[in-house]
């Protein structure tokens, strides 16, 4: 005979409602009691009936997580962190990929809406109006996008862009290029805006090239355009584009960083493996995944909304070096040491 919730309650010495809460809202149960109930359930071989629980509570204990491109190395750490964090709260995560297509994005939100308790919408390409409309149909938390009145988790890419520009200016660069990311990307607009303002404040010029798809081949394809600008340093929308540019420059015999410096965004694992290693702005993607899950579940518990901004950090490696306005006779190592101080 199958073990029931009554069996677990009796063996644990608690009320049936406490066992129910242990599985449906574990954060509301005393840690000691929760541990005892879970241990008893495991010993007896009890498994809650999720379908029945959904009928009673109105919750599926499923979360949708929609990303712009699952093949982009930026997203897997976020997905893994969100799944692990949700599992600790007894939630499952369904992952879907839009392939950077806002129409697919809209269709996926509506398809998932009746199967999940809420959706984490990561780097959406839809318009603000479309997202606001969808939020009336299903609870949403937006990651990497700020919309007034909507719960959101963002990484401070503006601060990261300013740090990158200051780093390049301090190295002696006065003409920079920005490899713009996809049209419709909030992150791209923020980086472009902040980088442009920082360049103007430092008396430097910023040439914007794009928009482009956020893939390495797009970065490689910009090589001729970058060289034609005369820029001595480049900031790319993401590491994939920066790495593609690095490889294309090397294929053309252009030395990095001796002839041109390159900075990426995201600090994906590959950025520390390419040669030269890539200077980049590290985005806290795993922390964003955890924060988004917390925000969505809190939204479900008490209707609360809010916006969380996570810090970004400049990681200085070997793809940036002295520019034309560096101190006379300074070596790459000397200028890099000066900038890090």
The confidence score (pLDDT) of residue 205 equals: 98
Residue 341 lies in a domain: no
Residue range 124-140, pLDDT digits in tens? 999 999 999 999 999 99
Cis peptide before 121 (omega within 30 of 0): no
Going by C-alpha positions, the residue among 142, 173, 189, 176 that lies closest to residue 308 is 142
Q: Are residues 34 and 21 in the same domain?
A: yes
The tokens of 333 are what? 């190592």
Domain contains 46? yes
Tokens of 69: 């491109």
- Same domain, yes or no: 191 and 291: no
179 and 229 assigned to the same domain: yes
Question: Are both 132 and 168 inside the same structural domain?
Answer: no
Question: Which structural domain, as residue segments, surrounds residue 293?
Answer: 62-154+285-311
Q: Within this chain, do residues 143 and 232 fall inside the same structural domain, yes or no?
A: no
Please give the pLDDT value at position 25.
73
Task: Single out the residue in 57, 74, 97 at which a domain terminates.
Answer: 57
What pTM did the predictor assign? Answer: 0.81
Structural domains in the chain (count): 3
Within-domain flag for 326 = no
105: CATH: 3.40.50.2300
The region, left, alpha or beta by phi > 0 then psi within -120 to 50, assigned to residue 331 is: beta
Nearest-10 crossing angle of helices 31-44, 16-24: 90
Compute the half-sphere exposure of residue 225: CA atoms within 13 Å on the CB side of its CA. 17
Domain end call among 36, 57, 78: 57
Q: Which pLDDT value is given to residue 341?
A: 43
Q: Is residue 274 located within the same domain as residue 190?
A: yes
Q: Considering the domain boundaries, does residue 319 fall inside one? A: no
Asked if the structure places residue 335 within a domain, the reply is: no
Q: Is residue 185 part of a domain?
A: yes
> What pLDDT digit, counting tens, does each position of 170-223 carry?
999 999 999 999 998 999 999 999 999 999 999 999 999 999 999 999 999 999
Mean pLDDT by 10 residues, the chain (341 residues): 85 90 81 91 79 57 95 96 94 95 95 93 94 94 94 97 98 98 94 98 98 97 98 98 98 97 97 97 97 89 74 98 83 52 43
pLDDT recorded at residue 338: 47
Same domain for 191 and 146: no
Classify residue 327: in a domain, yes or no.
no
- At 50 the pLDDT is 59
Question: What pLDDT score was predicted for residue 203?
Answer: 97
The CATH number of the domain where 52 resides is what? Answer: 1.10.260.40
User: Are residues 197 and 49 located together in one domain of the fold?
Assistant: no
Helix or strand holding residue 209 (H, E): strand 205-209
pLDDT at 26 (0 to 100): 80
Q: 94 and 147: one domain?
A: yes
Domain boundary among the residues 266, 282, 298 is at 282
Alpha-helix residue ranges (DSSP H) falling in 115-222: 128-135, 157-170, 186-201, 216-221
Query: Do both 175 and 205 map to the same domain?
Result: yes
Are residues 46 and 17 part of one domain? Answer: yes
Residue 107 lies in a domain: yes
Q: Kindly state whether residues 162 and 221 are assigned to the same domain.
A: yes
Q: pLDDT at position 55, please? A: 44
CB-CB contact of 60 with 54 (8 Å)? yes
């Amino acid at each position: 005979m199958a073990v029931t919730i009554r069996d677990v309650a009796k063996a644990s010495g608690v009320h049936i409602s406490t066992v129910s809460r242990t599985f449906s809202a574990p954060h509301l149960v005393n840690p000691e009691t929760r541990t005892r109930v879970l241990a008893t359930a495991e010993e007896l071989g009890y498994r809650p009936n999720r379908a029945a629980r959904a009928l009673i509570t109105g919750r599926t204990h499923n979360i949708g997580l929609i990303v712009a491109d699952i093949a982009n190395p930026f997203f897997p750490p976020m997905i893994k962190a969100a799944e692990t964090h949700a599992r600790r709260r007894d939630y499952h995560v369904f992952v879907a990929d839009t392939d950077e297509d806002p129409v697919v994005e809209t269709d996926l939100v509506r398809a998932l809406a009746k199967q999940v308790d809420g959706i984490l919408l990561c780097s959406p390409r839809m318009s603000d109006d479309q997202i606001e409309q969808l939020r009336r149909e299903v609870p949403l938390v937006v990651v990497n996008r700020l919309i007034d009145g909507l719960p959101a988790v963002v990484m401070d890419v503006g601060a990261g862009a300013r740090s990158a520009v200051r780093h390049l200016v301090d190295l002696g660069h006065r003409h920079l290029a920005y490899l713009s990311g996809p049209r419709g990307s909030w992150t791209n607009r923020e980086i472009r805006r902040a980088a442009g303002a920082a360049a103007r404040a430092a008396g430097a010029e910023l040439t914007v090239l794009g928009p482009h798809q956020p893939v390495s081949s797009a970065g490689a394809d910009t090589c001729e355009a970058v060289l034609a600008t005369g820029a001595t340093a480049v900031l790319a929308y993401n590491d994939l584009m920066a790495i593609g540019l690095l490889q294309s420059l090397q294929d053309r015999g252009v030395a990095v960083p001796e002839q041109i410096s390159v900075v990426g965004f995201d600090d994906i694992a590959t950025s520390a493996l390419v040669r030269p290693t890539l200077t980049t702005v590290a985005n806290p993607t795993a922390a964003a995944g955890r924060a988004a899950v917390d925000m969505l579940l809190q939204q479900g518990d008490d209707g609360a909304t809010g916006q969380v901004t996570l810090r970004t950090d400049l990681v200085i490696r070997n793809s940036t070096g002295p520019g034309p306005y560096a101190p006379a006779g300074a070596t790459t190592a000397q200028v890099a040491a000066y900038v890090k101080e």
